Structure 1
Amino acid sequence: MEITSYPVNHYPDLIERLWIIDNKAEDTDLITPPSQYVNIIIPLNQSTYTYNGEIKNSPQIEGLSLQSSCIHYPKGSRFIGARLYPHGLHSFLDIRGEEIMNKSIDFYPPLDVSIFNKSNSDVERLNTIYDQLKKMFIQKNYDEANLVRDYYQYFRKTESMISIDEYCKEHNTNYTSLNRLFSKIIGLSPKRFERLIKFRRSLCDLIDSEESLTNIATDSGYFDQAHFIREFKYFLNRTPSAYQNLIKAADKETNIINYNFRLL
């Protein structure tokens, strides 16, 4: 299975990447970890796939997840999509975060898949995604999400973690107001969302670096290794070392890449 990522030419503060999945060889099963991203998924040429046991054959919105998901891609299936930052969808659709959390739902209003199938190249298909999103863009929603967008970028990138209360003081707001925004746009409280961000940061380091678990825990913003292990088990029901061994074993057998992770 080939997964190709493409740089973002429009809405870079809302879209993390565009991607194409082309499963030419054989039926493929993937287990995806909890994620703060939202995906727009468009099946091409009547392709289907299975998401947690449910067959999907139409454009989907796959929400933020606090649990692992099982996905089955049949041989010959092909998909195009956009991976949005957690606040990104709010600028295009009036959907509350909790409505899509841990779910994959039919895209509404429906997308016309035929315009993607009629395109002569993948470049045209990618540009069609931008065209569709441009028609859907809601300026007032974009403005409303400004604080959430800034919060996410800060906690995702910074190496010097500050408390949420300190963040609120720096941005002339309070936790109640921030929580109200997060509940509407993300579907999680800021504190719970921060836990997910830390977990994802630690997961990236666990897979892609040779650092010790102690260093990974510190770099990801955990108090100590014990705190890191507790949080990791909360999201994946495995210790970091056990999951690291699982990834290494899977990589030797399959070398499957799921967006940015090598997974079983």
Structure 2
Amino acid sequence: MLKIKTHFPEFHSDLIERFWIIENTEVETKVVIPPSQYINIIFPIGTSNYKRNESWVTSPQIEGISLQNNTITYPPNTKVFGIRLFAYGLYPFFQFAGKEIMDTSIPIQLEGFPFITEHKSDDALIKKLEKTILSHFSVDRYNEIKPILNFYQKFRWNDENESIERFCKDSETNYTSLNRLFSKVIGISPKKFERLIKFRKSLCSIIDSQEQLTSIGINSGYFDQAHFIREFKLFLHQTPSEYKKMIKEADKESNIINYNFKLH
């Protein structure tokens, strides 16, 4: 059984979604992670390692946003620390190109982030690494990504149907400029990112609520049920009803479908 500890940042919560520690003290555990708009900086602690899909990870990594399922395997006695950032959240701290890390995990060496061999306590470790990442913050790069930040806030938390054209008009920008910024920072177009946001909204509701699928589709911003099913299948190769059934079966068998934290 995985033990998960999370800590919400005191600063830059519009960039850093949370800090987390996962520890597996028992049998090998596999976690299926659905497509996600988050970036993770991950540090295996001590001699810990884990498997991402079919590749073993033994050193600090950056995981980019994903448009596909990924399976993480945690052996017994594994402990890893992570910093989960929004899709645009990495750029004000470290200038990685979005396309460089999208749908993959790459080893990294970041200044001030040594291999973690020991620590006094989990809370002390979180505080130390929170202070370290904040030391890399760039105001100029933060100001550069503000249109993407505003885009995410608009499309993630607005239950009404919103169009990119209207967003561009309201924010006094044009799609060409917005697309250029998205390609640089995130690695995908605004339109594709908007589709990922809608998918994650629907996924969150399927996992955490008792709403009917028809309501979930509408509340996630889809035009109709056919649109909802088509887009959901694009990301998971399953219909919403098939995925909901799989979750129920997994709950009965005590399997872990995702490390949720609370999907957003």
1:60 aligns with 2:61: yes
The aligned counterpart of 2:28 is: 27
CA distance, structure 1, for counterparts of residue 175 and residue 164 of structure 2: 8
- State the shift of 1:118 in Å: 3.5
Q: Which runs of 5+ in 1 are unaligned?
A: none
Q: SS in structure 1 opposite 2:161?
A: coil
What are the superposed Cα offsets for residues 96-146 of structure 1, whole Å, 9 maximum, x if unpaired? 1010000011123363024xx442111110012112212222222111101
- State the shift of 1:261 in Å: 6.0
The aligned counterpart of 2:229 is: 229
1:213 aligns with 2:233: no
How is 1:158-177 mapped onto 2 (pairs within 5 angstroms)? 158-177=158-177
CA distance, structure 2, for counterparts of residue 20 and residue 259 of structure 1: 13
TM-score (norm 2): 0.95
The aligned counterpart of 1:238 is: 238
| Counterparts in 2 of 1:259 and 1:59: CA distance versus 1, 3 Å | farther
CA distance, structure 1, for counterparts of residue 238 and residue 261 of structure 2: 20
- State the shift of 1:247 in Å: 0.8
The aligned counterpart of 2:124 is: 124
What are the superposed Cα offsets for residues 160-219 of structure 1, whole Å, 9 maximum, x if unpaired? 122101000000100000000000011110000000000000000011111111100000
CA distance, structure 2, for counterparts of residue 219 and residue 108 of structure 1: 41
Deviates more, 1:138-147 or 1:171-180: 138-147
The aligned counterpart of 1:107 is: 108
Q: SS in structure 2 opposite 1:10?
A: coil
1:138 aligns with 2:165: no
TM-score (norm 1): 0.95
CA distance, structure 1, for counterparts of residue 52 and residue 73 of structure 2: 7
Q: Which runs of 5+ in 2 are unaligned?
A: none
Q: SS in structure 1 opposite 2:228?
A: helix
Q: Is the 8 A contact 2:46 2:118 kept in 1?
A: no
Quote the RMSD (CA, aligned, Å). Answer: 1.4
Q: Is the 8 A contact 1:5 1:259 kept in 2?
A: no
Q: SS in structure 2 opposite 1:258?
A: coil
Q: SS in structure 2 opposite 1:222?
A: coil
1:43 aligns with 2:59: no
Deviates more, 1:248-257 or 1:49-58: 248-257
Q: SS in structure 1 opposite 2:90?
A: helix
What are the superposed Cα offsets for residues 24-82 of structure 1, whole Å, 9 maximum, x if unpaired? 11101111100000011111121000112111111111110000001111000001111
Q: Is the 8 A contact 2:61 2:105 kept in 1?
A: yes
Q: SS in structure 2 opposite 1:88?
A: coil
How many correspondences in the alignment?
Answer: 260
Which structure's residues are more often helix, by fraction?
Answer: 1
CA distance, structure 2, for counterparts of residue 200 and residue 212 of structure 1: 16
The aligned counterpart of 1:190 is: 190
Identity %: 47
